[in-house]
């Protein structure tokens, strides 16, 4: 087919080209079709665009150079929420379209389209929010195809309004006109609404009675400024809010929430306010301002208006910027920062329902700022930091979920049930692994219910029916018991630390055998013991234990986790024998002699003293020995405070303690020489800062030397780091640097957490490999 271009009064023939493009990824519900429509018109092309079961189908006709410009524009100018995973391009015969149009989607039983996460309000909507001339001026639920809720309001697919919590709000004439106009940025924006037809906020007292207010959000801000605690319904659940500059308010919140010392997250209106209390670099600024809007860990500045009660004993604040219109309206009333912590009692799932909030948050919140748009699936704030040259996720939830991790190979449909602590689940399909939002510690029935709900919800919206279930080897984990309950489906138990290494291998898309360093607090071993300081040689399908930290008893079992002085006693007794309690150490100052005698007898007799190889417990012991922390108020507190004692950026030239590698025929790394060095320094009253620095550098040298030895034995040159201990930035950076200096390729986490929140990805990856080889 030929077309003619007009030059002056002459008609010049031009060959007409045509292409069929099939685009996969997050390309539905994100303004992709109107974007294609405008791009095609701008390039002078004709044709059609339509959704199909796995993405978007485009037919374009025009000059070849215009089609080329169009395809480049698809890559370079795609909508903010779009994620293109694949474009298939086929040359076809022109059919002579007269214009470019958006076609109605055709129903299809197969459902492979990706769903966007919940995303922060965009700049266009933010400008309208504060524009007195705009009809959505100060409307707390303003959104468009480039921003707003997605995952937390969807009940089923396809992602259409009747399948979301917006089904109860009928669009007014003006909103409907925007929704149906392909040139409007609210074209097919499912949460589209305004003051007239959409959700509304309301303010309630502690009894649930609605308070009359001319400006609900302004009145709520006034209550916060008076020192009251508010429960505020957000995007993925309720927050408990308090003025971060008001120490009495923050103390009250700690007391009521039963959260004695664990740091609170904060929200500030902008970077200007954040710089009043924290130091941030360009990478951290980019993370804060990204559409995902995670909580970002920022180093505290020298002076600060923020109450010391917000983040005691920590050199970081966890900070986020507003991400909903409601947040922006609230923060625009003059706050430097608000504490914005999860709306729940400690260890329970975040509250999402209004009536549930009035019940479960009773006694914590003084007032409630609520709205009438339902949240179908709770989703906590994500937590991230910039460390060792990369974006590191500590908790993967809002803003990231349900974006998949793309795998190197196509895998079967698998459900992985995750770990006991920081639980997530993972579902796989094709070459995609969908790791759920943070579910939490599987220690109560509310969390178990949330776990079950998340699985059923994700199976439905992702159209996944697993052919196998992967779970932890620990027989008593709630997540494992769930797997055992399922009928007529293959169950594949996966060792905890193998799953850690496999999760990093999966996100880095690497095959073959690696050296894996899996360091955490607790994991069930193949021998029934508690592992946690593991050096493995591993592939995706199998592993061998190359070395591990030497065994130490945990007197009292779980009590030794909450009371690190018990681990100190265990390591001291192992190193110095009977009479260890006569050592001149800070740890003994507040521990009664009778308690030490009892612990000593428990260790000798093996009574309620399970053995562990955990590196996390060694950190706890050293923290207790030198007097930092004998009892903890939250998981990992002692180890974290030990890390805080050492300089984060400059450990060059640090002395090290004596250490030994496993002897011939043994896999145990002796801990005694390190403990002896720590004790010697502590008795000489060397500062905690110096001891912590030496301890960290000793571990860095030790594990680097061990990797060199293993490489000499089997030629492996790739090292994978995983496990919650690698949230310790000093250990992560130092070990990465030394290993790379010695010629290793080092792989770490950036897409999922290094802690147990990433375990489910590893379980799914290992299970897929096992199915592949045993099919």
CA distance 77 to 71: 10
pLDDT digits (tens, 9 = 90+) for 410-430: 999 999 999 999 999 999 999
Integer-rounded Cα Rg, in Å, for the chain is: 28
Check pLDDT > 50 for residue 82. Answer: yes
Mean pLDDT to the nearest integer, 737-752: 97
pLDDT one-digit tens code per residue, 67-78:
999 999 999 999
> Residue 53 above 90 pLDDT?
no
pLDDT at 107: 61
Average pLDDT, the chain: 94
Q: What is the pTM of this model?
A: 0.94
CA distance 159 to 32: 14
**pLDDT computed for residue 55 by the predictor:** 86
Does residue 699 carry a pLDDT above 60?
A: yes
Q: Are strands 201-205 and 100-102 parallel, antiparallel or unpaired?
A: unpaired
Residue 1 burial (C-beta neighbours within 10 Å; 0-12, 13-18, 19+): exposed
Q: What is the pLDDT of residue 11?
A: 44
DSSP label at 717? -
Which whole number is the average pLDDT over 685-695? 97
The pLDDT assigned to 160 comes to 84
CA distance 717 to 711: 6
Residues 529-532: contacts with CB within 8 Å, 24+ apart?
529/610, 529/611, 529/612, 529/613, 530/554, 530/610, 530/611, 530/612, 530/613, 530/614, 531/496, 531/497, 531/612, 531/613, 531/614, 532/497, 532/612, 532/613, 532/614, 532/615, 532/616, 532/617, 532/723
Name the β-bridge partners of 432.
406, 429
Q: Using one digit for the tens of pLDDT, what is the confidence trace for 297-353?
A: 999 998 899 999 999 989 999 999 999 999 999 999 999 999 999 999 878 999 999
Question: pLDDT at position 182, please?
Answer: 86
Residue 15: its pLDDT value, please? 78
Tokens of 514: 């690696």
Check whether 567 has a pLDDT greater than 60: yes
Mean pLDDT of 479-495: 97
Query: Can you give the pLDDT at residue 113?
Result: 72
Contact predicate 14/66, CB 8 Å = no
Residue scoring higher pLDDT (7 or 684):
684
Cα separation, 679 vs 670, whole angstroms: 16
Banded model confidence at residue 35, pLDDT cuts 50, 70, 90: very high
Mean pLDDT of all residues in 690-719: 97
pLDDT of residue 211: 97
Q: How far lies 517's CA from each of 622, 670, 719, in Å?
A: 21, 17, 7
DSSP conformation class of 468: E
Q: 515, 720 in Cβ contact below 8 A? A: yes
Mean per-residue pLDDT for 245-252?
98
Give the other-Cβ count within 10 Å of 684's Cβ.
8
At 13, is the pLDDT very low, low, confident or very high (cuts 50, 70, 90)? low
In whole angstroms, what is the distance from residue 5 CA to residue 11 CA? 6
Lowest mean pLDDT among 449-463, 624-638, 651-665: 651-665
C-alpha count within 13 angstroms, C-beta hemisphere, residue 453: 16
Check if the beta carbon of residue 152 is closer than 8 Å to that of residue 374. Answer: no
CA 241 to chain centre: 22
Residue 168: pLDDT over 50 = yes
Kindly provide the b/e burial profile for residues 639-655, where b requires at least 16 CB atoms within 10 angstroms of the residue's own CB. bbbbbbbbeeeebeebe
How far is Cα of residue 242 from the mean position of the Cα atoms in its chain? 24
CA nearest to 525, candidates 554, 561, 556, 497? 497
pLDDT score at 4: 43
Please write down the long-range contacts of 276-285, taking CB distance under 8 Å and 24 or more positions apart.
Answer: 276/301, 276/304, 276/305, 276/336, 277/301, 277/304, 277/305, 277/306, 277/317, 277/336, 277/337, 278/304, 278/317, 278/319, 281/386, 283/386, 283/391, 284/385, 284/386
51: confidence class by pLDDT, cuts 50, 70, 90 = confident
Q: What is the pLDDT of residues 501-515, one digit of tens each?
A: 999 999 999 999 999
Give me the pLDDT at residue 479, please: 97
Cα 362 to Cα 238: distance, rounded to the nearest angstrom: 13
**402 upstream amide cis, omega within 30 of 0:** yes
DSSP 676: H
């Amino acid at each position: 087919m030929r077309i003619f271009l007009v030059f002056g009064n002459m008609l010049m023939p031009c060959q007409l080209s045509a292409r069929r493009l099939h685009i996969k990824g997050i390309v539905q519900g994100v303004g992709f079709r109107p974007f294609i429509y405008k791009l095609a018109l701008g390039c002078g092309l004709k044709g059609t665009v339509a959704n199909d079961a796995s993405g978007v189908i485009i037919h374009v006709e025009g000059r070849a150079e215009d089609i080329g410009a169009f395809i480049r524009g698809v890559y370079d100018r795609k909508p903010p929420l779009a994620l293109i995973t694949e474009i298939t391009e086929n040359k076809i015969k022109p059919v002579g379209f007269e214009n470019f149009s958006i076609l109605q989607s055709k129903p299809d039983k197969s459902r492979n389209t990706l769903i966007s996460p919940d995303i922060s309000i965009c700049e266009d909507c933010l400008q309208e929010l504060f524009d007195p001339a705009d009809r959505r001026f100060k409307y707390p639920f303003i959104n468009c195809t480039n921003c707003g809720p997605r995952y937390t309001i969807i009940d089923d697919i396809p992602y259409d309004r009747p399948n979301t919590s917006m089904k109860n709000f009928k669009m007014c004439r003006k909103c409907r006109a925007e929704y149906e106009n392909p040139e409007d940025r609210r074209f097919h924006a499912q949460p589209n609404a305004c003051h007239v037809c959409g959700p509304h906020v309301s303010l309630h007292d502690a009894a649930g009675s609605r308070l009359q207010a001319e400006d609900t959000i302004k009145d709520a801000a006034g209550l916060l400024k008076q020192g009251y605690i508010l429960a505020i319904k957000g995007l993925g659940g309720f927050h408990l809010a308090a003025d971060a500059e008001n120490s009495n308010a923050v103390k009250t919140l700690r007391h009521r929430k039963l959260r004695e010392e664990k740091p609170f997250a904060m929200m500030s209106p902008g970077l200007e306010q954040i710089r009043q209390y924290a130091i941030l670099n360009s990478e951290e600024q980019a993370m804060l301002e990204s559409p995902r809007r995670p909580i970002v860990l920022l180093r505290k500045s020298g002076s600060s208006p923020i109450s010391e009660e917000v983040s005691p004993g920590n050199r970081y604040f966890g900070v986020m910027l507003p991400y909903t219109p409601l947040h922006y309206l609230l923060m625009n009333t003059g706050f430097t920062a608000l504490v914005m912590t999860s709306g729940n009692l400690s260890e329970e799932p975040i509250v999402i329902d209004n009536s549930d909030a009035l019940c479960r948050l009773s006694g914590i919140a003084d007032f409630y700022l609520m709205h009438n748009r339902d949240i179908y699936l709770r989703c906590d704030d994500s937590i991230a930091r910039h460390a060792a040259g990369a974006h590191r996720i500590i908790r993967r939830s809002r803003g990231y979920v349900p974006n998949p991790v793309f795998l190197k190979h196509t895998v079967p449909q698998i459900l992985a049930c995750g770990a006991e602590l920081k639980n997530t689940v993972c579902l796989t399909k094709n070459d995609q692994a969908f790791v759920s939002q943070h579910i939490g510690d599987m220690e109560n029935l509310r969390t178990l219910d949330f776990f079950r709900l998340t699985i059923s919800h994700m199976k439905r919206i992702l159209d996944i029916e697993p052919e196998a279930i992967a779970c932890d080897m620990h027989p008593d984990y709630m997540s494992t018991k769930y797997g055992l309950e399922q009928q007529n489906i293959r169950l594949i138990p996966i060792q905890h630390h193998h799953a850690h290494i496999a999760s990093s291998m999966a996100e880095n898309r690497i095959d073959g055998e690696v050296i894996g360093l899996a360091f955490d607090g607790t994991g069930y071993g193949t021998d029934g013991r508690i592992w946690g300081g593991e050096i493995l040689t591993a592939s995706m399908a199998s592993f061998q234990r190359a070395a591990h930290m030497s065994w130490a008893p945990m007197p009292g079992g779980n009590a030794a986790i909450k009371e690190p002085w018990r681990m100190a006693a265990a390591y001291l007794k192992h190193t110095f024998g009977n009479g260890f309690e006569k050592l001149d150490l800070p740890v003994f100052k507040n521990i009664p002699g009778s308690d030490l005698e009892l612990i000593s007898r428990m260790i000798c007799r093996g009574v309620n003293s399970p053995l562990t190889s955990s590196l996390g417990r060694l950190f706890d012991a050293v923290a207790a020995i030198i007097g930092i922390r004998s009892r903890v108020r939250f998981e990992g507190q002692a180890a974290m405070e030990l890390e805080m004692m050492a300089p984060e950026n400059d450990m060059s030239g640090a002395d090290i303690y004596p250490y030994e590698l496993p002897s011939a025929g043994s896999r145990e790394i002796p801990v005694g020489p390190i403990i002896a060095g720590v004790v010697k320094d502590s008795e000489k009253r060397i500062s905690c800062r110096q001891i912590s620095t030496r301890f960290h550098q000793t571990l860095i040298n030790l594990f680097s030397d061990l990797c060199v030895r293993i490489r000499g034995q089997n030629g492996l040159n790739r090292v994978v780091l995983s496990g919650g201990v690698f949230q310790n930035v000093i250990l992560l950076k130092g070990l990465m640097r030394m290993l790379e200096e010695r010629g290793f390729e080092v792989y770490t986490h950036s897409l999922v957490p290094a802690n147990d929140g990433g375990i489910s990805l590893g379980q799914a990856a290992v299970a897929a490999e096992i199915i592949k080889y045993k099919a």
